[in-house]
Amino acid sequence: MPPSARTRGRGPGLHHDRRRAEIADAVLAVVAEHGLPGVSLTEVAAQAGVSPGRVQHYFPAKRQLIEAAFDRGNRRSEERIRSRLGADPEDAPPREVLAVVLDELIPHDAPSRAHMRVRHAFNAGALADDAVAERVRGLYAELRTRLADCLLRAGVLRDGGEPEALAVTLVAQAEGLAYHVLLGTVPVCTARRTVRAALDAALPD
C-alpha cells in the first residue's frame, strides 16, 4: 500500500479529511439557507463551530470552499442513492436505478430538500460564474450519460440518440417539479407520482 494511502487511513491524514468534510458540510448548510452569496469565512466557521482561521487553514480561498461543497454535496447524494438501492448503481436493476435517481431529484425529505436547495443555488450561480458553470455542466453530462445507459439496459432502443434525449427530458421534468415543490406550489406526492408516471411511460412493458 502506498504511504499516502496509509496516511489517509488513520492519524493526521484521516483527521484532515474529516475536518475538510465537516467544513464542506457547513458550506452546504449555508448555501441551503442563504444561497451561494451567503458563503463567507465567518458564516461557514459559525456553522461548523470553528474559527474563521481554521476554515481558512483548510480552504485558503472562497473558491476552494465552493468547489469542496459542490463535490461533497454530490457524494452525499450518491450515498443516499446507493443506500436506497442497497447496492452499487452499476449492479442494481436499471429500472430501479432510474426510479431512485429521478425520485432523489424531488425534495421529499430533509436531506433531499437541502440537496435540491443547494443544487438550485449552484444552478443559479452558474449563470454568472463560468467556473461554477463548468462544474454544473460536467455534473449534468455525467448524469445524462449514466441515465441514458440505464435506459438502454432497461430496453429503450437507441434511435437517433433517443436514450440521451429521454434522459435530458426526464431530468428536466424532475428538476422543474422540484423547484415548484421547494416553492410550495406543487405537493411532493404529486411531483413524485408525475415523475414516476413519465418514467413508466418511457420504458417498454
Yes or no: say if 102 and 170 are a contact pair by the CB < 8 Å rule: yes
The three state secondary structure string of 44-70 is HHHHHCCCHHHHHHHCCCHHHHHHHHH
pLDDT(76) > 60: yes
Identify the pLDDT of residue 140: 95
**Model confidence pLDDT, tens digit, residues 158-179:** 665 689 999 999 999 999 999 9
Q: How is residue 157 written as a grid cell?
A: 432502443
pLDDT(128) > 80: yes
Local confidence band at 13 (pLDDT 50, 70, 90 cut-offs): confident
What value does the mean pLDDT take over residues 52-77? 92
Packing angle, helices 130-153 and 162-183, rounded to 10: 120
Tally the C-alpha atoms within 13 A of residue 41's C-alpha that lie toward its C-beta.
12
Q: How is residue 70 written as a grid cell?
A: 459542490
Give residues with Cβ within 8 angstroms of 147, minimum separation 6: 98, 101, 167, 170, 171
What value does the mean pLDDT take over residues 100-108? 96
pLDDT(151) > 80: yes
Local confidence band at 6 (pLDDT 50, 70, 90 cut-offs): very low
**Model confidence pLDDT, tens digit, residues 22-53:** 999 999 999 999 999 999 999 999 999 999 99
Q: Mean pLDDT over all residues of the chain? A: 90
In whole angstroms, give the CA distance from residue 188 to residue 185.
Answer: 10
Identify the pLDDT of residue 183: 95
Local confidence band at 11 (pLDDT 50, 70, 90 cut-offs): low
Q: What residue type is 137 in one-letter code?
A: R
In terms of Cβ atoms closer than 10 Å to its own Cβ (0-12, 13-18, 19+), residue 104 is: buried
Provide the phi-psi class of 155: left if phi over 0, else alpha when psi is between -120 and 50, else beta. left
